[in-house]
């Protein structure tokens, strides 16, 4: 196979499905109306409810949802060969992930920008809402743990990326003050921010900061507690805005590079297309690709975290209902394209990287050794950064060291955005739960709420057992996606009541996802977590499974209710 062929097929799939399936969802299921005022207008408060330019909102949403998930998951799933992961990325993205993201966003828009957890309570019961809130909080603990591990590992491996990332935060604060405090012209402020961003990357390249994994982990913990508690305009909003430029530039550069190397004839896939049914992946144990691949590949195909972002912040900023398709549906497609790029780059250069490093992975032992050696040599993210850099070098002659540093910074930018967004959302969730149970005021304090979440996450990341920790996060995240999609299916079938078979277009993926993820987590608990005596991972996974069963019982009870009971909810 050739990288140019795969990149161009992916582009054709995403563009084609956006203008056919996506448009049909918009017109026949959601029935988006440009004349219906969105919550950003109806509930405008200048703080959370603010209509945004669709391009800016797309950038904010994409930067918030695109953590390291679309990179790390597909990179690990390469153990089964490049074909199984690629097919799941395309199928899952088009028919499940993008539908999930778009409906979570638009259902929230129809309910005053409320969260998907709140909507579940509205359509099912108060018990459902509380259980969903707890479920989301536990999932966000794992997000903090997994992404804390990823970013600390990047900073240890690429100290230049660490310097640039911390300077980048300083640049974001300066931009926030320029735009919001000193009312500098938006274009001038953006130009200054981008210039300082380039300077930060240059300084990072020249003056790398070296520190241990645990030192970076503690520093990140302190950072996210502060970042999640400060007003959003000081750091997070300008950081996301600037991040989008890095993310788009990296995506376009990589896509063009692997088309060029493919056309040059040097982009031939050297990794096997398929290795075995049970490659050694999760915890080093033989792992069946169903149901395990949907557990390992998170954001690239689908992610429950997206429903929290879409219904947590994005829905409050949507200027026009017609913008939802580009922001929610298009944002997920962009992640799928990124995962396609990850798979293609490792498929082309992975073997070459192993040979250069003297790592005993070859075409014949790929299925049994790939994931084990990637973990042993700390290449979970690095194998993509290096293969990406080699592709950029072969296509455009850019030095591999410079391209690798940029790739590391690119990944760190993705992951940092997810880490502090997850902490902020986790704080909101904790405070909502404390309100529900009438807890003492001290437990509702934003600093206390952030500290509790981060303390649990950092503790879980401390041991660095990534191949075990990642499926725990990934599985909880995917189960959250299945619950969110089942909530959306209830909204579509009972409230939107589309004509024809469109309600099945949502219900069937929802049930498929629920069965797949439930089976995967049971497998993970029985064959990996419990035998390895991973107490905290086992407890959180078990709690997630129990909540998930309770939620599906509530969903079924709500599904059996006559449509007339939902008539008043119709928009």
Residue pLDDT, tens place only, 238-252: 777 787 788 788 889
How confident is residue 472, by pLDDT bands cut at 50, 70 and 90? low
pLDDT band for position 334 (cuts 50, 70, 90):
very high
pLDDT at 118: 84
Is 431:449 a contact under the CB 8 Å cutoff?
yes
Structural contact between residues 409 and 204, judged by C-beta atoms closer than 8 angstroms:
yes
Centroid of chain to Cα 1: 28
Query: What is residue 235's three-state secondary structure?
Result: coil
Give the burial class of 84: count Cβ atoms within 10 A of its Cβ; 0-12 exposed, 13-18 middle, 19 or more buried.
buried
What's the pTM? Answer: 0.86
Look at 46 and 36; give whichever has higher pLDDT. Answer: 36
Q: Is the pLDDT of residue 58 over 80?
A: yes
Q: What is the 3-state secondary structure (H, E, C) of 316-380?
A: HCECCHHHHHHHHHHHHHHHHHHHHHHHHHHHHHHHHHHHHHCCCCCCCCHHHHHHHHHHHCCCC
- Over residues 266-292, the mean pLDDT reads 90
- What tokens appear for 408 in the block? 């590391």
Mean pLDDT to the nearest integer, 65-74 = 80
Q: What distance in Å separates the CA atoms of residue 457 and residue 311, rounded to the nearest whole number?
A: 23
Mean pLDDT of 492-507: 89
Q: Is the pLDDT of residue 526 over 80?
A: yes
Which of the residue ranges 95-99, 117-121, 125-129, 499-503 has the most confident prediction, judged by mean pLDDT? 95-99
Summarize pLDDT for 178-226 with one digit per residue, the tens: 887 888 888 888 889 889 988 988 888 788 888 998 999 999 999 989 8
Preceding peptide of 81 cis, ω within 30°: no
pLDDT digit string, tens, across residues 381-406: 678 888 999 999 999 998 888 787 77
Alpha carbons 519 and 536: distance in angstroms, whole number: 20
pLDDT band at 272 (very low <50, low <70, confident <90, very high): very high
Two tokens, residue 306 = 């997206």
Q: Token pair 């993926």 is at which residue?
A: 509
Helix, strand or coil for residue 287? strand
Contact 495, 569 (CB under 8 A): yes
Tell me the residue length of the chain.
Answer: 571
Position 352 scores a pLDDT of 94
Low-confidence winner among 22-36, 216-230, 254-268, 353-367 (lowest mean pLDDT): 216-230
Largest separation between any pair of C-alpha atoms in the chain: 67
Residue 564 CB: number of other CB atoms within 10 A? Answer: 8
Q: What is the model's pLDDT at position 342?
A: 94
Sign of CA dihedral 127, 132, 135, 136: negative
pLDDT band at 459 (very low <50, low <70, confident <90, very high): confident
Give me the mean pLDDT over the 65-94 stretch: 90
Q: What are the beta bridge partners of residue 286?
A: 280
Dihedral pair phi/psi, residue 114, rounded to 5°: -70, 160
Give the integer Cα–Cα distance in Å for 477 and 65.
Answer: 12
Residue-averaged pLDDT of the chain: 87
3-state secondary structure of 52: strand
Residue 57's pLDDT band (cuts 50, 70, 90): confident
pLDDT interval class at 569 (50, 70, 90): low
C-alpha–C-alpha distance, residues 399 and 419, integer Å: 30
Confidence of residue 465 (pLDDT cuts 50, 70, 90): low
């Amino acid at each position: 196979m050739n990288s140019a062929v795969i990149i161009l097929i992916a582009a054709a799939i995403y563009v084609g499905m956006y203008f056919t399936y996506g448009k049909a969802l918009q017109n026949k299921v959601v029935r988006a109306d440009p004349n219906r005022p969105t919550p950003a207008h109806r509930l405008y408060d200048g703080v959370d409810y603010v209509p945004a330019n669709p391009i800016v909102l797309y950038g904010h949403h994409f930067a918030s949802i695109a953590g390291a998930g679309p990179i790390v998951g597909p990179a690990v799933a390469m153990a089964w060969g490049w074909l199984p992961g690629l097919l799941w990325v395309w199928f899952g993205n088009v028919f499940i992930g993008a539908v999930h993201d778009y409906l979570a966003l638009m259902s929230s828009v129809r309910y005053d920008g409320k969260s998907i957890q709140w909507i579940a309570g509205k359509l099912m019961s108060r018990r459902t809402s509380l259980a969903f809130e707890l479920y989301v909080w536990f999932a966000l603990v794992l997000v903090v743990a997994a992404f804390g591990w990823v970013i600390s590992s990047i900073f240890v491996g690429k100290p230049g990326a660490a310097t640039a990332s911390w300077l980048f935060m300083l640049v974001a604060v300066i931009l926030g003050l320029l735009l919001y405090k000193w009312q500098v012209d938006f274009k001038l402020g953006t130009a200054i921010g981008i210039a300082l961003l380039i300077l930060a990357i240059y300084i990072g390249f020249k003056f790398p900061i070296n520190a241990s994994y645990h030192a970076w982990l503690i520093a990140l913990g302190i950072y996210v507690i502060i970042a999640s508690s400060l007003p959003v305009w000081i750091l997070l909003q300008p950081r996301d805005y600037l991040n989008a430029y890095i993310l788009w530039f990296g995506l376009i550069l990589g896509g063009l590079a692997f088309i060029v190397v493919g056309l040059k004839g040097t982009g031939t896939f050297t990794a096997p297309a398929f290795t075995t049914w049970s490659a050694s992946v999760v915890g080093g144990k033989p792992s069946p690709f169903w149901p395990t691949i949907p557990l390992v590949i998170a954001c690239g195909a689908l992610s429950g975290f997206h429903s929290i972002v879409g219904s947590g912040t994005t829905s409050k900023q949507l200027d026009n209902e017609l913008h939802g398709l580009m922001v929610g549906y298009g944002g997920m497609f962009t992640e799928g394209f990124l995962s396609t790029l990850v798979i293609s780059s490792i498929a082309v250069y992975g073997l070459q990287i192993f040979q250069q490093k003297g790592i005993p992975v070859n075409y014949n032992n790929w299925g049994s050794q790939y994931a084990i050696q990637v973990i042993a040599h700390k290449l979970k993210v690095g194998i993509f950064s290096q293969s990406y850099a080699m592709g950029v070098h072969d296509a455009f002659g850019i030095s591999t060291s410079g391209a690798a540093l940029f790739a590391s910074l690119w990944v760190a930018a993705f992951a940092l955005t997810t880490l502090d967004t997850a902490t902020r959302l986790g704080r909101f969730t904790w405070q909502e739960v404390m309100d529900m149970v009438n807890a003492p005021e001290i437990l509702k304090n934003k600093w206390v709420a952030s500290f509790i979440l981060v303390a649990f996450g950092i503790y879980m990341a401390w041991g660095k057992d990534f191949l075990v920790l990642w499926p725990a996060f990934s599985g909880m995240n995917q189960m959250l996606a299945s619950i969110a999609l089942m909530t959306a299916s209830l909204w579509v079938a009972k409230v939107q009541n589309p004509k024809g078979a469109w309600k099945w277009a949502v219900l069937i993926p929802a049930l498929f996802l629920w069965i797949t993820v439930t089976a995967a987590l049971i497998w993970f608990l029985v064959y990996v977590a419990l035998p390895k005596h991973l107490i905290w991972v086992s407890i959180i996974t078990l709690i997630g499974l129990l909540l998930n069963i309770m939620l599906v019982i509530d969903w079924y009870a709500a599904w059996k209710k006559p449509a007339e009971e939902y008539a008043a909810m119709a928009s």
